[in-house]
Structure 1
Amino acid sequence: MRLALFQPGIPQNLGAAIRLSACLGAGLDVIEPCSFPLDDKSLKRAALDYGPLAHMVRHSSWEAFLAAPERDEGRLLLFTTQATAPFHKFTFRARDTLLFGNESRGAPPEVHAAAFARLRIPLRPEARSMNLATTAAMALGEALRQTDGFPA
């Protein structure tokens, strides 16, 4: 199971995703460019001491991400407020990659087009969206539950 962040815009969300990846053993793909400097200092600050436990791969572009060997391993599932399929009714597989768009811009049409499925987390009608890190944790938790993928 992998998480992928498309051009993340908030360093704290990346830090939370690094910790989530490290704690649950999921790979993490960061698709650049980010909206903040992605250097060793900012990564260390965002990830605290979890960085060495995370399995993070940086991709210089969307095209580089699609060409990466990990992309041959499973389906690409885009989480988006534009989807109609609720994530908790979807059947996940162990090699899926859960993809999340930029916090303010979402994902462009080419990212939507590349996804095997587009999923959403149902929200109350008056709510617009949830925090990216919270959404990623909910999605990864459900996917790991379904595939018996939680650490022993």
Structure 2
Amino acid sequence: MNIVLHEPEIPFNTGAIGRTCVATKSTLHLIKPYGFILNDKNIKKAGMDYWPLLKLREYISYEEFMAGVEEERKIALPKVWYATTKAHKTHTEVSFSPNDYIVFGKESAGIPEEILVDNEEQCIRIPMLEEARSLNLSNSVAIILYEALRQQDFPFLSKEGALHHLQWKE
């Protein structure tokens, strides 16, 4: 899967999302400008020691990002989904494919309206109370990404854990 952050503003969110991408074998795509310096200590703090393992791609603009998607469409058929509170359908009403992109907007304003209007059929939302403006960006990424991976039966991911049976001394 591919997670795209369009002009992210908060370094802690980007770091946490990077960590989620590493844990799910997803690629993180960042579209400039950022509201921080990419090597910010807050990114490293949120991403912990996972950041060096991250598959990261950067773009100077949305247009450059879309040009890269068009190149990939010559090989695969990824869809580009747009996560927004303005969508008519929820993230559980669509079918995700392994190479799809899920675009998230900046924390203060979301994805620009002109992009959403041009891609209305690919817009998805997370259900929430009408009074709530939005969820935290890193939470939104995790919710939608894990739904996409659930639909694919969690490829590459470990689905079982193990308890370590400790013997307590009395």
TM above 0.5 = yes
Shift of 1:128: 1.9
State the Cα deviation string for residues 55-106 of structure 1 (Å, max 9, x = none): 1111111121112257524111000001110111211111110110011111
Match of 1:39 in 2: 39
Query: In 2, distance between residues paired with 1:35 and 1:104?
Result: 11
Shift of 1:147: 1.4
Structure possessing the higher radius of gyration over alpha carbons = 2
Q: Would the aligned equivalents of 2:11 and 2:40 in 1 still touch at CA under 8 Å?
A: no
Q: Which amino acid aligns with 2:97?
A: R
CA RMSD of aligned residues (A): 1.9
Shift of 1:109: 3.1
Match of 1:6 in 2: 6
Structure-2 change in CA distance of 1:24 and 1:94 (3 Å)? same
Tell me the number of residue pairs that the alignment of Structure 1 and Structure 2 aligns: 152
Q: Would the aligned equivalents of 1:76 and 1:115 in 2 still touch at CA under 8 Å?
A: no
Query: In 2, distance between residues paired with 1:55 and 1:36?
Result: 19
Query: In 2, distance between residues paired with 1:3 and 1:33?
Result: 17
Q: Which consecutive residues of structure 1, in runs of 5 or more, have no partner in the other structure?
A: none
Query: In 1, distance between residues paired with 2:101 and 2:112?
Result: 17
Q: Is 1:61 aligned to 2:57, yes or no?
A: no
Q: What SS class does the counterpart of residue 149 from structure 1 fall into?
A: coil
**Greater alpha carbon shift after TM alignment, 41-50 vs 71-80:** 41-50
Q: Which consecutive residues of structure 2, in runs of 5 or more, have no partner in the other structure?
A: 159-170
Q: Would the aligned equivalents of 2:2 and 2:28 in 1 still touch at CA under 8 Å?
A: yes
Shift of 1:43: 4.3
Query: In 1, distance between residues paired with 2:101 and 2:95?
Result: 13
Match of 1:149 in 2: 154
Identity rate, percent: 37
Aligned with 2:133 (options 92, 114, 128): 128
Match of 1:75 in 2: 79
Match of 1:108 in 2: 112
Query: In 2, distance between residues paired with 1:37 and 1:83?
Result: 31
Q: Would the aligned equivalents of 2:81 and 2:101 in 1 still touch at CA under 8 Å?
A: yes
Shift of 1:41: 5.2
Q: Which amino acid aligns with 1:142?
A: E
Query: In 1, distance between residues paired with 2:126 and 2:94?
Result: 11
TM-score, normalised with respect to structure 1: 0.90
Q: Is 1:93 aligned to 2:127, yes or no?
A: no
Structure-2 change in CA distance of 1:42 and 1:64 (3 Å)? farther
Q: Which amino acid aligns with 1:90?
A: V
Query: In 2, distance between residues paired with 1:142 and 1:21?
Result: 14
State the Cα deviation string for residues 23-57 of structure 1 (Å, max 9, x = none): 11011101111011223656434422111221111
